[in-house]
Amino acid sequence: MAGPRAGPAPARLRGYHARMSRAAKPKLTHLDDEGRPAMVDVSAKAATTREARAECRVRFPAPVAAALRGSGLRSAKGGIVDTAVIAGTMAVKRTHELIPFCHPLPIDGVRIAIDWHGERELRIECAVKTTHRTGVEMEALTGATVAALTVYDMCKALSHAIVLGPAKLLGKRGGKRDFGSVG
């Protein structure tokens, strides 16, 4: 195993480290001053339109993907896409019951899209919108991953070699920091 690199850091990193030492260091928001878990107090924040978009992939073994394509994404349990969209939407609305420090939010809209991405992979995208004091990143991630779990459940009779992920945030808008793309 190689040890740490000797010599000074490249100029681009020296500038980065200097900027980081001057800037406020990021901190975990769900810990209080004593390091105990705590829900963030959002009462002083303004209610604004918040949007987030996340995705999760489902990769199938080649024979399973071929069978699903041949069946129009239907299994013995029924329509895979329709069931996954309903499950993902329900999960968005219940995220605060699953993730301990998520605030219950009024959800203004949820859109879940599921389509083939290549020969063997489904791409599930979940977009969520609210007008509130906190964002909906966790809701979008929960919707996409629960929809993916539902696809797995609907297809597991065909194979247990189905792989979920990666799940990732594609974008968020409306809070302190916008990230990626929500459109």
- On the question of pLDDT at 3 being above 70, the answer is no
CA 169 to chain centre: 5
- On the question of pLDDT at 24 being above 70, the answer is no
Query: pTM for the whole thing?
Result: 0.83
Residues 82, 84, 89, 90, CA torsion sign: positive
Q: Chain-wide mean pLDDT for the chain?
A: 89
- CA-to-CA distance for 16 and 25, rounded, in angstroms? 13
Cβ contact 107:92 at 8 Å: yes
For residue 27, what pLDDT band results from cuts at 50, 70 and 90?
A: confident
Please give the positions annotated as active site: 153
User: Considering only the top CATH level, what class is 48-174?
Assistant: alpha beta
- CA-to-CA distance for 118 and 103, rounded, in angstroms? 36
- On the question of pLDDT at 22 being above 60, the answer is no
Collapse the DSSP code of 118 into the 3-class scheme (helix H, G, I; strand E, B; otherwise coil) and give the result: coil
Cβ contact 125:110 at 8 Å: no
For residue 28, what pLDDT band results from cuts at 50, 70 and 90?
A: confident
Residue-wise pLDDT tens digits, 58-101: 999 999 999 999 999 998 888 999 999 999 999 999 999 999 99
State the average pLDDT over residues 25-49: 85
State the average pLDDT over residues 106-132: 98
Q: What angle do CA 60, 168, 120 make, to 5 degrees?
A: 15
State the average pLDDT over residues 129-146: 97
- On the question of pLDDT at 145 being above 60, the answer is yes
